[in-house]
A and B are shown apart, each in its own frame.
Chain A
Amino acid sequence: AQSVTQLDSQVPVFEEAPVELRCNYSSSVSVYLFWYVQYPNQGLQLLLKYLSGSTLVESINGFEAEFNKSQTSFHLRKPSVHISDTAEYFCAVSEGGYSSASKIIFGSGTRLSIRP
């Protein structure tokens, strides 16, 4: 069975500082990886995904993640964070391929808190 480990439960950073949220996965088959964001009192939103091709994927709001097969990692980074980035971030892997029938396995989450 596939699994996802998020190494940090909380990451406090100052505004405009860089941040990295760490994620490692375990899978013996092709992987489809995701980062979801959950703002306070809201549902999950897909931030970015890796399906195939370029190992560096980007979101529209400045986040990027790099798929590293040898290290089985998919860390999320942003060079300069904003107060509005305060949220819970979940790394996830799709089990059973990538289709509407897939089951998504989530990590335990990392709470990103931005200090002014």
Chain B
Amino acid sequence: ETGVTQSPTHLIKTRGQQVTLRCSSQSGHNTVSWYQQALGQGPQFIFQYYREEENGRGNFPPRFSGLQFPNYSSELNVNALELDDSALYLCASSLESEQYFGPGTRLTVT
């Protein structure tokens, strides 16, 4: 157990819809990173938040957006869902160096 929780665990959406995924960081961790893990692939970096500000972004379109709250919990929002957005979405929290991963949210887009 890493102390990082994500909700929901599973989610099914229709193409074109919007989705919000949530991440609760390990206590005191002020940095959160989000990754997308498509089936059969390694996780890919989406973006990172540090003290409520975006602190780096991977090669994902603007319809992927995020928020970090004062308590350091975080949201990942995806608009205009596409079939290829089906994946396991992982968040990881960190304070100094090591990133601690949550169990993920599995999103299926039909």
Contacts and interface: CB of A to CB of B under 8 A. Distances in A.
Interface of A: 4, 6, 9, 36, 41-46, 49, 90, 92, 96, 98-109
Given A100-B30, A100-B50, A101-B55, A45 B45 contact: no
Contact of B102 (A4, A43, A92): A43
Contacts of A102: 97, 99
B90 A103 contact: no
Which of the four size classes fits the interface of chain B? 20 to 34
Contacts of A105: 45
Contact of B42 (A42, A43, A96, A107): A107
A103 to B, nearest CB: 5
Interface of B: 2, 4, 29-31, 33, 35, 40-45, 48, 50, 55-56, 58, 90, 92, 94-99, 101-104
B97 A100 contact: yes
A45 B31 CA distance: 18
B59 to A, nearest CB: 10
A108 B41 CA distance: 5
Contacts of B90: 43-44
A100 B95 contact: yes
B50 A108 contact: no
B103 A43 contact: yes
Contacts of A92: 42
Contacts of B104: 43
A109 B101 contact: no
B88 to A, nearest CB: 9
Contacts of B2: 43, 45
A108 B56 contact: no
B45 A99 contact: no
B99 A104 contact: yes
A109 B101 CA distance: 16
B48 A46 contact: no
A108 B102 contact: no
B19 to A, nearest CB: 19
